[in-house]
A and B are shown apart, each in its own frame.
Chain A
Amino acid sequence: MSTDAEARSLTVSVDHRVGDVAISVSFTAKPGITVLFGPSGSGKSTLLAAVSGLLAPDSGTVRLADTTWLDTKRGVSMPVHRRRVAFVFQSPALFPHMTALENVMYGMSKNVPHDTNVERAKKLLATWDVAALAARMPSRFSGGEAQRVALARAFATSPDVVLMDEPFSALDDVRRRALAKRVKEVVEELRVPAIFVTHSVREAETVGDHVLLLENGKITREGTPSEILTNLVAE
């Protein structure tokens, strides 16, 4: 791994209790896609929320390169909106009172001329094959269309970190695989750390550069997709 990759890494060490599950994890996500794989209720979504800042964990640290996002001992907690994360949720969470284009433009810099942002938003919609939806309201989108617009919106912020919480769980296998491949390409282009939560072995194999197996709030194994997932299927 290059020095550049080390410099862009996301280091996470978090302890948090949710109900009966005590999450206690430490890992480093390098540029590329780190898959957080595990059964439902193992703490995957909670961990993602803690990294993004949407949830304040009981204790821990989150660092992106030299920047501290969270350090509970020092009382440091950077607000969510300053962390520059692209968060793709399980449901698209599109703003229902805005067109697809307005949704994509929501997170774009206000210091850039409006027309430039419009052009960029249109290109992003085209990248995700939903250019035709630009002027339409989300209530008329199919599940797949809505999730593509949500992806375009998330990546419009030029993020430093990408977080995806089972983003394709509502889609059929064909669309799922196609979108997973596209996500992998876009993250490779951006060269940022991305954490992809899933409990689908096939999806993890398609997108993952590195896999963390999360069970009962603990990382029990980590390695390449073939190392972790092949054994898992064999078991």
Chain B
Amino acid sequence: MSNLSASPFLSPLALSIEIAVMATLIAGVVGVAVASLLANVRFFGRDALDALFCGPLVLPPTVLGYYLLVAFGRHSFIGGVYEHVTGNSIVFTRTGAVLAAAVGALPLIVKFSRAALESVDPLLVPAARTLGASPLRALLTIQIPVAARGIAAAVMLGFARSLGDFGATLMVAGDMPGETQTASLAIFDAIQANEEGKAVVMIVLLTTIAFASLYLANKLIARGHER
């Protein structure tokens, strides 16, 4: 990792991957939990919850970044508690970058996971329930495993999305080389500084990773439909 950090091309890329992996883990757990709730439980405010989690898909990144600053900034309740407990701020740190990337990935994970969960044979969960499974056991042992390929595809798309986050990351985490400067931000800085060669290396690498994720996600979805 120390060699990667020394390289002007690979340091932001390594940071992007690190942030995207952490963001995908968080968005994966939260997103699949929310998708499970939306797919299986009818409750007042379900559509509002769906809109809340899918909003980042349609909001301008700067608007999303502003909301995150308000919700997680040093003067917010969550930001204050976090700083009190850890001694660090959420915003303008790597944690902020992970948060921004996770929020950006959530809509894709929620939408595609929900679709995968809803496409499971509607008799399987009732069958599990009559065999003594609680709703949670039926979800964890039947519905999620049967929808696993679709959920994995959703997570792959979420990873690709968080890898390329720009606007919200800039608003929430800033653009500090070695700390919060991801590949997307470094590309922007390189173009601004007329260092196109430096930018192209990162563009090619990011494009390759993003397309590989997309290809894998499509493969998973196709194999899921073949079941």
Contacts and interface: CB of A to CB of B under 8 A. Distances in A.
Given A81-B133, A87-B127, A93-B124, 9 more contacts: A54-B130, A79-B134, A80-B130, A82-B132, A83-B130, A91-B123, A95-B128, A97-B148, A106-B141
A93 B121 contact: yes
Interface of B: 121, 123-124, 126-134, 141-142, 145-146, 148, 227
A95 B146 contact: yes
A93 B127 contact: yes
Nearest to A89: B123
A106 B126 contact: no
B137 to A, nearest CB: 8
Nearest to A163: B130
Contact of B131 (A79, A91, A97, A107): A107
Q: Rank and list the top 10 A-B pairs by shortest CB-CB distance, nearest first.
A: A107-B131, A93-B123, A87-B130, A93-B127, A80-B129, A81-B132, A97-B145, A107-B132, A54-B126, A81-B129
B196 to A, nearest CB: 50
A81 B134 contact: yes
A107 B142 CA distance: 12
Give the most central of A83, A91, A96: most B CB within 10 Å: A96
A86 interface: yes
Interface residues of A, number: 25
A95 B124 contact: yes
Contacts, number: 57
Contacts of A154: 130-131
A96 B227 contact: yes
Contact of A157 (B126, B132, B141, B142): B132
B108 to A, nearest CB: 24
Contacts of A97: 145-146, 148
Contacts of A23: none
B67 to A, nearest CB: 39
B142 A52 contact: no
Contacts of A95: 124, 127-128, 142, 146
Q: Describe A's contact surface by its main secondary structure.
A: loop
Contacts of A80: 126, 129-130
Contacts of B133: 81, 106-107
Contacts of A153: 131
B122 to A, nearest CB: 9
B48 to A, nearest CB: 24
A86 B124 CA distance: 14
A148 to B, nearest CB: 15
Contacts of B145: 97
A87 B146 contact: no
A160 to B, nearest CB: 12
A209 to B, nearest CB: 23
20 contacts: A52-B130, A54-B129, A79-B134, A80-B129, A81-B132, A81-B133, A83-B130, A89-B126, A89-B127, A93-B124, A93-B126, A95-B142, A96-B121, A97-B146, A106-B141, A107-B131, A107-B133, A153-B131, A154-B130, A157-B132
Contacts of A106: 128, 131, 133, 141
A91 B127 CA distance: 11
A27 B227 CA distance: 42
A191 interface: no
B132 A84 contact: yes
B146 A85 contact: no
A93 B125 CA distance: 9
Give the most central of B127, B134, B142: most A CB within 10 Å: B127
A83 to B, nearest CB: 8
Interface in A76-112: 79-87, 89, 91, 93, 95-97, 106-107
B131 A157 contact: yes
